[in-house]
Amino acid sequence: MAAQKQGTIVYWQSLSPILAIFRLAPEVGSRFPGYVPGQYIALRRENCKLTRRVRDVDGNVSYAPDVDENGVPRYGSVTHSYSITSAPSETLQHGCLEFYVVLEKGESQYPGRFTESLFRDQPEGDRRLTYFDRIAGDFTLEKRATGFSSVLLVGTGTGLAPFRAMIQQLHHEALEGKKSDVRYTLLHANRTPEELAYHQELSDIEASRSFDFAYVPSISRPSPVDMNDPTLGKGRANNLLRRLFDMPLKEQEAQATAPPPASGAAQDQPALAHVVRPVFPEGHPVRELRQRFDPSSTVVLTCGNPAAMADVQAIASANQFRFEKEDW
């Protein structure tokens, strides 16, 4: 088993009450192991609010806060693995690992044990963070995209993390003269512009033309002001892909296959009435984006929300694209 070491959170940026970026410095006198973009590391917190397993009368299992006889929460250690957001070139430069994290909600909407502790203590609280001195994982371009001339990266929420590391490293290598003939397209969707982490950085990398890279940002809960911003796409990542490949929206598909309501029963308001219709950023019209993908030479990599990843897989299968996802 990998040794446990004591790191320190040296940077914390809140994007919203539930989203943040932070940097972890290694134990004094140590360096992090070498890694490639797409890999992950296990982190450990010692002051996490614990949960207990509960089984109801029907045998269904759920989880609830673990408290003592006086109702006081019990605390303990919890370990969680996270994709590394920083590129290896950045870690070599400043010695840190960077992470993009969300305050997770578990069953019954209780906050995730690890992230509740992390967000509770930042930015002014306990900055100690244990890590396991081993970086692993095969969700890398070498393992998942070798042999393909077009790579479509689809990140929802913090699922951007491995892709940001990949794109930043490709940019660094391109600036050093290591050119790639592969076309990379990144579709990143989150709820609001504030939650589109690394948005400006990725836009700048695209504008630099250091390598063949198209960045397609989208928000799923646009405000009236956002609707008039031509630089942002609108809609969920999977629905943008469905629009790109001339497929019905997920909600349209679900409505078409749903059984008719029983006679006399009140029909629920369909989800389709509330869905944000997909719109691509002005700089990336559908026709031009389609030209970047050929079934024989395209691989789709996705990371993020499990439901979104499942639909991305269905879209890839329908269009005969190779599909890969981050799945530990």
Give tens-digit pLDDT for 31-56. 999 999 999 999 999 888 888 888 88
pLDDT at 106 (0 to 100)? 57
Task: Tell me whether the omega of the peptide bond preceding residue 123 falls within 30 degrees of 0, making it cis.
Answer: yes
Assign a CATH topology to domain 141-255+273-325: Rossmann fold (3.40.50)
Q: pLDDT band for position 262 (50/70/90)?
A: low
Angle between helical axes of 306-318 and 237-244 (0-180°, round to 10): 10
Mean pLDDT, residues 161-178 taken together: 97
Q: pLDDT band for position 139 (50/70/90)?
A: very high
pLDDT at 293 (0 to 100)? 97
More confident residue, 159 or 269: 159
Give tens-digit pLDDT for 175-210. 999 988 999 999 999 999 999 999 999 999 999 999
Rg (CA), the chain: 21
pLDDT at 259 (0 to 100)? 74
Is the Cβ–Cβ distance between 122 and 268 less than 8 Å? no
Please state the domain extents for the chain. 4-136, 141-255+273-325
pLDDT at 328 (0 to 100)? 61
Q: Could you say which of 2.40.50.220, 3.30.2350.10, 2.40.30.10, 2.30.140.10 is the CATH number of the domain covering 4-136? A: 2.40.30.10
Q: Is the pLDDT of residue 8 over 60?
A: yes
Predicted TM-score (pTM) of the model is 0.90
pLDDT at 121 (0 to 100)? 81
Name the least confident of 114-118, 253-257, 258-262, 264-268: 264-268
Q: Per-residue DSSP letters for 194-263?
A: GG-TTHHHHHHHHHHTSSSEEEEEEESS--HHHHT-TTSEES-HHHHHHHHTT---HHHHHHHHSPPPPT
As a whole number, the mean pLDDT across the chain is 91
Name the least confident of 46-50, 119-123, 301-305: 119-123
Angle between helical axes of 250-257 and 237-244 (0-180°, round to 10): 80
Q: Is the pLDDT of residue 268 over 60?
A: no
**Under 8 Å CB-to-CB from 47, ≥6 apart: which residues?**
75, 117, 121, 126
Mean pLDDT, residues 118-127 taken together: 84
pLDDT at 272 (0 to 100)? 64
Give tens-digit pLDDT for 317-327. 999 999 999 97
Name the 3-class secondary structure at 236.
coil
Mean pLDDT, residues 81-107 taken together: 92
Name the least confident of 72-76, 224-228, 236-240, 320-324: 72-76
